Amino acid sequence: MTAAIEVRAVEKRFGNVGIIRDLNLSVAQGERHAIIGPNGAGKSTTFNLISGHIKPTSGEVRLNGDVISGLRPFEINRRGLSRSFQVTNVFARMSVWENVRCAVLWATGHRYAFWKNVDSLSEVRERTAQILDDIHLTHRRDVPAGLLTYAEQRELEIGITIAGGATVVMLDEPTAGMSHAETERAVSLIRRLTEGKTLVIVEHDMSVVFGLADRISVLVYGHIIASGTPEEIRRDPKVKEAYLGEEAH
Amino acid sequence: MNAKMTSTPTSKIVDTTVGDGLRFYGIWLAGIAVLIVLPLIFSSGGSLTSFSLIGIAIVFALSYNILLGQTGLLSFGHAVHYGLGGFAACHMMNAVVSHGWPIPLPFIPLFGGLGGLAFALVIGWVMTKRAGTVFSMISLGIAELVASSSLILRSVFGGESGISTDRTSLPKILGLSFGPQLQVYYLIAFWLVISAIAMYALTRTPLGRISNAVRDNPERVQFIGYDPHVVRYIAFCFAGFFAGVAGGLAAINFEIANAAYLGAIQSGLVLFSTFIGGVAFFFGPILGAILVTYLQLGLTSVTGVWQLYFGIIFIGIVMLSPGGIAGLIMMHRPLVRAGTLPTVIPSYLLAAVPTLALACGVILTIESIARTHSGQGSPINLFGVAFSPASPVTWASAAILVAGGFFVARLSWRRVGEAWDRATTIARDRGYLA
């Protein structure tokens, strides 16, 4: 079976500075894959490279076997890859309902239509209502997204990401800045909403990573030093040295 | 329990849609009724001309808001489409007359629209590649380019004198000659209704919704499958079309199209109208177009420095109410729903007195200076009281009104703020405010 995401020898340089060097990563279909690493290791850059936000200097990225490196973000999204952002990135002046509905429109085939009444598209309406229900924001549907609480915005961010029905979902630090209770809620939300999908997640909270991921890759200075099951990663001496430190606890 | 939980919000949604739907159609029908009745109440030639100009300005401002309010594109050259629409309409009218085509006058604005659209189709792809400052600067450049070409390409634009036409020579429809201003007014009103409905409907389509998303966050739009460039381009073409319709209506109204149609002043005026009215609501530009056209017609006859007042109003709105008039009105909606509006009205009335005094002081100051310097020295007529611009009494009253008005206005507006806080707290408690 072809891998959902296959990153081969990808390099990203900004001028003379190599941010990502010889990056190789393989995520199998249906796998929950976590990318961890110290600050500045290039985790968000890796996300940006895969999702088309920035183009690799060299190397290639494949989605379900097709080369996607060099394509633009919306072209990659249309092929079934969707991502969230570390810094909340919603449509601030639009209501929660509108936010999710916009994310549903392309996938339901309405594209740039200017001859259809958006309110009368029953499939769009049902799917939007379903997603609002899933992310527990139905009671906030008419509130402008910019007025939501931080945790609610993070949930909306996830909702927008999964709304298009992408089969590969990439979440960039979905629980960053959340309290313990909010994190638990978010994790169960993610677990439920990505059922049967491929998930790539960047996360700092190790309890989230080890609780959620089937496989983990450790990124240090733009290079993956280890990739394996949580158990393998925990035992890997290179990881201990480079990332987990001197067994502080 | 679970089924009940999920069914409750749905039924509530249906209820509000039906209620809102009735009110929605009510507003539109009321608007159409006003357009029909207006010339029957105010039937003088002057008011008919004013209403016609206001109608054209509304179509133009609504088309501008497709760019500014809906898609977040600040254009400094929207009059290009208006002007080209006007020229297209004039050429079409002349062609219809000389070739004897069976096209009556009411169809001419459509050709104006096609003129505006054609230019948008050609130039739009490059222009909408980027939003923000880049788009604004390119729009300014294109506007200058077209405005200067209009004086060079004499066969198309008629040079200084423009292209004139005769609307009454076109084939008659329903026995209407469109000679009398009343018939032209109804023609404009008809196209105003059609265009307003079409532009409103556009906001309710997938494209319209995504335009809003592009306005708010073009980066994120790319990650839900949309190319923001394409969205901006299509929105730009629609804006160009309806600006062209407005230009076509103007060509019919004045029976001429000239370089002034597509110049910077016209572009500035539509930006001004739309912004003062309020870009965040569909009806905002309508209010703005009415007010600005009315002021333009009214102020020019009472003062020589009417542009100065435009500037002051514009700065005032931008600084004090960035949402425009529509924003000010809609701010009160939660209070109306919560029933706390009456608690703020007294503070408004109280604040209105010193604010009015301040405004009178400013007007006296401006007019004294302007009239003394222009050497006319004609008396300033303020609410029936005549002030001599050269008299120290006038200067003293101006100074007292400005200083005293400002001081008391500050105090009284603070009380408005307090009343507002109380009213919104109650509205929030009652769940009418997020």
Work out the minimum CA distance from B330 to partner chain A, whole angstroms.
15
φ and ψ of A56, to 5 deg: -70, 150
A116 vs B6, B206, B216: nearest CB: B206
Report the topology of domain B26-320.
ABC transporter involved in vitamin B12 uptake, BtuC (1.10.3470)
Chain A residues with at least one Cβ partner in B under 8 Å: 51, 72-74, 77-78, 82-83, 85, 89-94, 98, 101-103, 105-107, 110-119, 121, 129, 133, 138-139, 141, 143-144, 147, 160-161, 163-164
> Does A90 contact B10 at a Cβ distance shorter than 8 Å?
no
Q: What's the average model confidence in pLDDT over B257-280?
A: 94
Quick one: how far is CA B302 from the chain centroid? 23
User: What is the pLDDT averaged over residues B352-359?
Assistant: 94
Percent of all residues in chain B with a pLDDT value above 90, rounded to a whole number: 74
Interchain proximity B226–A106, CB inside 8 Å: yes
pLDDT at residue B160, rounded to an integer = 86
Q: Taking the domains of chain A in order of start, what are their residue ranges?
A: 5-244
Whether A105 sits inside 8 A of B227 (CB atoms) is no
Cα B360 from chain centroid (whole Å): 26
Distance CA B346, CA B180 (A): 47
A20 - beta bridge partners? A12
Cβ-defined contact of A117 to B204 (cutoff 8 Å): yes
What pLDDT digit, counting tens, does each position of B372-405 carry?
887 766 788 877 788 888 888 888 999 999 999 9
Closest CA to B279 of B211, B232, B223: B211
Q: Which of B204, B216, B217 sits opposite A118 (nearest CB)?
A: B204
Which residue from B206, B209, B223 is facing A82, i.e. has the nearest CB? B223
Min Cα–Cα distance to chain B from A247, Å: 39
pLDDT at A243: 64
- Tell me the longest C-alpha to C-alpha distance in chain B: 82
The amino acid that residue B123 corresponds to is: I
Q: Which residues of B touch A72 (CB under 8 A)?
A: 222, 227
pLDDT at B67: 98
B221 to chain A: which residues are within 8 Å by CB? 74, 102
**Residue B234 contacts residue B209 (beta carbons within 8 Å):** no
How much is the average pLDDT of A45-73?
96
pLDDT attached to residue B4: 37
Residues of chain B with CATH 1.10.3470: 26-320
The pLDDT value recorded for residue A245 is 59
**Alpha carbon distances (Å) from B1 to A16, A113, A134:** 62, 39, 17
CATH topology of domain A5-244: Rossmann fold (3.40.50)
Mean pLDDT of B116-121: 98
CA distance A220 to A239: 9
Give A244's pLDDT tier (boundaries 50, 70, 90): low
CA distance A48 to A52: 6
Q: How many CB atoms lie within 10 A of CB A79?
A: 17
B206:A113 CB<8 A: yes
pLDDT of residue B59: 98
